[in-house]
Every structure is written in structure tokens, then in C-alpha cells.
Amino acid sequence: MEVITVKTHKKVELIDITEEVLKRLPPKDGICVLYVPHTTAGIIINEGADPAVKEDLIMAFERIAPETLPYKHLEGNSPGHVKSSITGPSLTLIVEKGKPILGTWQRIFFAEYDGPRTRKIFLKFLEG
């Protein structure tokens, strides 16, 4: 198992981790599982060519779970819990010859919803 460490700089941000994932994959066929063990973060695949897509996603997440709702969780990070429930904590990727099968514009993003923090992503490669 590999660990990718990400240092975030904003309360909410999407960080492209595609290159970090590629560095850790062996030149084989198999399955790659990425897991984020944090309740206010997630992981997604989406377009990475136009930075406006990240901005649009963050705007939409903010509208779905705004800071202004009367949340009961006293820690103050309920919007992050809601957003991470939407994006989820894991991805499974098909890998051929050490490269994940992604669409032309697709990239892998770590999703921070309660930063800034130092976060971990666990990567497990299963040959086959």
C-alpha cells in the first residue's frame, strides 16, 4: 500500500493528484483503489483541462451545503461532512500497463471541504 500526502491551503478546494497516483502505479495491469480516511474530504474524477470546472463544482457544493444552514454538529464543519458524503471516500480505477484508464479530459482530484489541513490518500494496487 502507498500513501499520498496532500497539504491543502483553503477551506474548500480540489487538488489534482493524478500525477501522484501515476508515480505510484507499477507498470502492470490491475485495479487501483484510492481511499480517503477523512470525514470532511473526498475523491473524485472530473475534467482537468479547464480550471473553471473546479470552480463550478466548488460553487455547486457550496450551494448544496452552505455554511449558513442551522447545523446541529457543534464542531462547525457540518458542510464538509455533507460534501464528503456526496463525493465519497474512494475510487476504483482500471489500470493497463501502469496507467489508469481515464477519459481524454479526466483527472483525479482530492476534494478538501474543511481545510487547510494535511491529508492522506491510501492507494492499493491489485495486480490482475
Give me the helices (H) in the chain, please: 18-24, 51-64, 78-87
Q: Report how far residue 33's alpha carbon sits from residue 90's, in angstroms, rounded to the nearest whole number.
A: 7
Task: Specify the pLDDT at position 103.
Answer: 96
Domain total in the chain? 1
What pLDDT is stored for residue 74 in this prediction? 84
CATH, residue 8? 2.60.120.460
Structural domain including 39 reads 2-127
Query: Could you list the pLDDT tens digit for every one of the 128 residues in the chain?
Result: 999 999 999 999 999 999 999 999 999 999 999 999 999 999 999 999 999 999 999 999 999 999 999 999 989 899 999 999 999 999 999 999 999 999 999 999 999 999 999 999 999 999 98
Place of cell 463544482: 57
pLDDT of residue 128: 86
